[in-house]
A and B are shown apart, each in its own frame.
Chain A
Amino acid sequence: MAPTLCFNCKEARALIIRPKNRHKLCRACFLEVFETEVHETITTFKLFYPGERVAIGASGGKDSTVLAAVLKILNERYRYGLDLCLLSIDEGIRGYRDDSLETVKRNAKQYDMPLMIVGYGELYGWTMDQVVEQIGKKGNCTYCGVFRRQALDRGAARLEIKHVVTGHNADDVAETVMMNLLRGDLPRLSRGTSIVTASGASEIKRSKPLKYAYEKEIVLYAHHRQLDYFSTECIYSPEAFRGSARTLIKDLEKIRPSSILDIVKSGEDMAVLVPGETNPNGKTCRSKAAAEDEAEAGGCGSQNGRSSGGEMAAMETQLAENEAAGSRETEIRLPQQPKPGSSKTQKPIKRQVMGHCERCGYISSQRVCKACTLLDGLNRNRPKTAIEVSASMDDEEISSTLARQMEHTQLTNS
């Protein structure tokens, strides 16, 4: 079979088929187009200003590694005048973060950027290993997510940096859209697609320059630039492969490769159609619990958009109770049924007022922020620290034990 030539330069052998338009490109043209498109995203949404100091939330994984590499290139090529640095969070998961932090340290040298590492241990007095020891493996992702959001902000604050960029890609955004449809969560449906989230009070702006980049292209970019990244599943996140929304997205991609950006487009349109929401979604989404949102919207990249069976089951129970209550109600009020059209005139979605956590001063819609609430629970039970010995391991535990063993192998090998 004669090699296909690049759609762009018509000279070199095509190696890549672009998901968004099926164009076949050679290595050089692909790298160039990928970078140019990220540049277009940055300029269209005016993500940066000259001289701005920007921290790249770096995990050592593919997304943040590609983000750092591309931002370095673009900053030089287009003279953004940005002062870039890497900001990493050490969740304190031995075997998992140790290796990825090594990757980030190498990245810092390769890209000649300063690196700052903020640990859960020093910030909260709890590493994730200790959290898991206390609460078990179920539900620990909630802690990790909530802690991470604040950790990035606090790290940025220490560096006196007001803008953190993260490696969230189009697949992540599409997952969030599908997730929020499945969860029936309209407020998050309206916020989840924003490229910039700024929580007015904390003064730390967040943006996702890779929002329109397909995960597939990010991986290929890393491959063809031979970037140094670290990939593994979090040892505490055994559901990583089973998430409903994520599986759906990957199946969709197989059927119609463009569909990930098609979902992003749908999500952006629907965001405007959520009743009571007036903010233009493509631009800045101000406050309104954006802070707490981001925690939920992942960041570790292994739990993002993944609805575990447990979550769906819990929601099912809740909905069944609502339904039961609702049907009792309708039976009594038989004569005055609401008109079919009246479902359209429902109450606007409750707006949350942002204030500050009275414990730590972090931005929060509650009196006490989520992190402090979680910490309260942990600290109350601190003396207990019972080590759970499980008589029968279920699937989850088996798979995470396996993952842990693999981590050990990895450690001994390297």
Chain B
Amino acid sequence: MPAKELTRPCMDCKDAEAILTTRKRSLCSHCFKLFIQFKILRRMDGHKAPPKIQKEYLPSKLLLPLSLGVSSSVLLHILDWQLERQRSNPHSRVAYQLHVLVIEPSTISPSNSSFDSNFEGLQKTFPTHIFTRLPFYSVFEYVPEMKELILEYAGPQFADDSSQSDEARLAAFRGSVSSATSKDDLDNVLLTRLVVAFAKQDACETILWGDSDTRLSAKTLAGAAKGRGASLTWQVSDGMSPWGVQFEFPLRDINKPELQQYKSVCPELSNIVIPDQPIPDNILTKNLSIDELMMRYVETQGAKYPGVMANVSRTANKLQAAGSDDPASCALCGSLVGNVKGNTGITVASQFGESQGSQFCYGCSRSRPEIKS
């Protein structure tokens, strides 16, 4: 084959025009995609089909919660590509079955418009997977004790009206939380509970979270800042969650800008992904939530020091899960109540006095709606 005339050849195949630069290497779109796919698929090595000689084999079920943001959409795109290859290869078997759960964005934030067309596009583009859509307030249906729980959690100030719809009751609870930090924190807790409950009902053994490395580092710092350091071992590390469902984060080697680049070379994702609503630059720091502050910090610092920021989530992933001999876990978020065994520290989130604190962990106690003193 005659060599092509290339102005800036791809550093990998040397056979196509490089269209972007990633990690100081100029690549064509094909090789860039391969690079990202490789990085993500090596995180999926734990999910392999046994060799064909063994007859009985039921592929395991993995749940992918899809926010329709860039990261989780790219994850779906790549896993779909992997399964497609396995399916079309006569010598291999399909390693797993993918269930995709979408929590309707408009039920999380009213500023999100209808996503019907995105959902349709999703099913059309990836026809071989099972898709489910649920409203956020179905957390009451999937976690039946949740109504009781939020009543106890929010305290006497929160007036729950049982004649109201689930939608209205969830809105009332979320409305009773005053600070941006607590709002984000509790939303994350409730969303996790809903996804886990769905996974269990659906018999999925693993949840594949679509957090970019950027978000994992931000979650690490935010978790530490919110007194949730002990639960980083499953909130940002690959590990067993308190509910017996494995949590994995296959995007942990890829940062947000790289996922954006990937999306930009996959036109089929353009009518699926709902663009991020960026935090406005003019918002005052004190009005940000801790999660937003940390995301902004990791994104701005990551532009200069991507390696340092990636190292944060890598460090958190090295922490060992706390021993399971301490049975007390938070009724709301599943984290340990009290200290990790061996920690003799004396910090307590004692706003409500010790007697009431026993059911909820330190982090959840901090996010409780404030009682006016």
Contacts and interface: CB of A to CB of B under 8 A. Distances in A.
A269 B373 contact: no
Interface in A278-306: 278, 280-283
Contacts of B304: 312-313, 316
B61 interface: no
Nearest to B306: A316
A69 B112 CA distance: 56
Contact of B362 (A248, A254, A265, A278): A265
A186 B319 CA distance: 9
Contacts, number: 196
Contact of A313 (B226, B290, B305, B321): B305
Contact of B238 (A189, A272, A340): A340
B23 A319 contact: no
Contact of A268 (B285, B347, B373): B347
A33 interface: no
Given A186-B318, A269-B340, A273-B322, A178 B351 contact: no
Nearest to B371: A22
- Contact residues on B (Cβ < 8 Å of other chain), bracket: 35 or more
Given A252-B290, A270-B229, A341-B238, A280 B349 contact: no
Given A7-B373, A265-B345, A270-B232, A248 B220 contact: no
Contacts of A21: 350-351
Contact of B230 (A248, A270, A312, A319): A270
Interface stretch (B73-81, B117-125, B309-317): B309-317
B343 A271 contact: yes
A269 B311 contact: no
Nearest to A282: B344
Nearest to B250: A340
Contacts of A273: 230, 233, 319-322, 340
B50 interface: no
A258 B225 contact: no
- Contact residues on A (Cβ < 8 Å of other chain), bracket: 35 or more
B224 interface: yes
A320 B343 CA distance: 35
B226 A319 contact: no
Contact of B343 (A24, A281, A318): A281
Given A267-B224, A343-B238, A182 B343 contact: no
Given A181-B316, A255-B293, A272 B343 contact: yes
Interface string A255-275: 110110111111111111111
A264 B321 contact: no
B318 A275 contact: yes
A262 B321 contact: no
Given A181-B220, A251-B285, A312-B308, A274 B290 contact: no
Contacts of A319: 307-308, 310-311
Contact of A339 (B46, B306, B320, B321): B46
A264 B347 contact: yes
Contacts of B345: 193, 264-265, 268-269, 281-282
B343 A184 contact: no
A392 interface: no
A119 B363 CA distance: 46
Contact of A269 (B46, B229, B305): B229
B179 interface: yes
Contacts of B232: 270
Nearest to A309: B304
A270 B220 CA distance: 11
B225 A252 contact: yes
B223 interface: yes
A272 B288 CA distance: 31
Contacts of B344: 45, 280-283
Contact of B248 (A7, A275, A312, A340): A340
B6 to A, nearest CB: 23
B166 interface: no
A87 interface: no
A112 interface: no
Nearest to A311: B308
B96 to A, nearest CB: 13
A316 B320 contact: no
B281 to A, nearest CB: 15
Contacts of B82: none
A341 B238 CA distance: 7
B225 A266 contact: yes
Nearest to A336: B45
Interface in B1-40: 23-24
B347 A212 contact: yes
A269 B321 CA distance: 11
Interface in A323-340: 323, 330, 337-340
A248 B297 contact: yes
A44 interface: yes
Nearest to B310: A319
Interface string A177-219: 1100111111001000100000000000000000010000000
**Among B42, B226, B289, B319, residue most surrounded by chain A Cβ atoms (within 10 Å):** B319
Contacts of B227: 259, 262-263, 265-266
Contacts of A341: 46, 238
A272 B340 contact: yes
A385 B305 CA distance: 36
Contact of A261 (B305, B314, B347): B347
A340 B344 CA distance: 32
A307 to B, nearest CB: 9
A264 B347 CA distance: 8
A274 B343 CA distance: 12
A265 B301 CA distance: 25
Contact of B320 (A24, A251, A312, A344): A344
A264 B312 CA distance: 18
B339 interface: yes
7 contacts: A184-B314, A254-B286, A262-B347, A266-B229, A269-B339, A315-B307, A340-B42
A-B complex: 5 closest residue pairs judged by Cβ atoms: A266-B229, A282-B344, A319-B307, A262-B227, A268-B345
Interface of B: 23-24, 42-46, 179-181, 220-221, 223-230, 232-233, 237-239, 248, 250, 285-286, 288-290, 293, 297, 301, 304-308, 310-312, 314-322, 336, 339-347, 349-351, 362-363, 366, 370, 373
Interface of A: 7, 21-24, 40-41, 44-45, 177-178, 181-186, 189, 193, 212, 244, 248, 251-252, 254-256, 258-259, 261-275, 278, 280-283, 312-313, 315-316, 318-320, 323, 330, 337-341, 343-344, 346
Given A275-B318, A340-B238, 16 more contacts: A184-B315, A186-B318, A252-B225, A255-B179, A261-B347, A262-B226, A268-B229, A269-B339, A270-B230, A270-B319, A283-B344, A312-B308, A315-B305, A315-B311, A319-B307, A320-B307
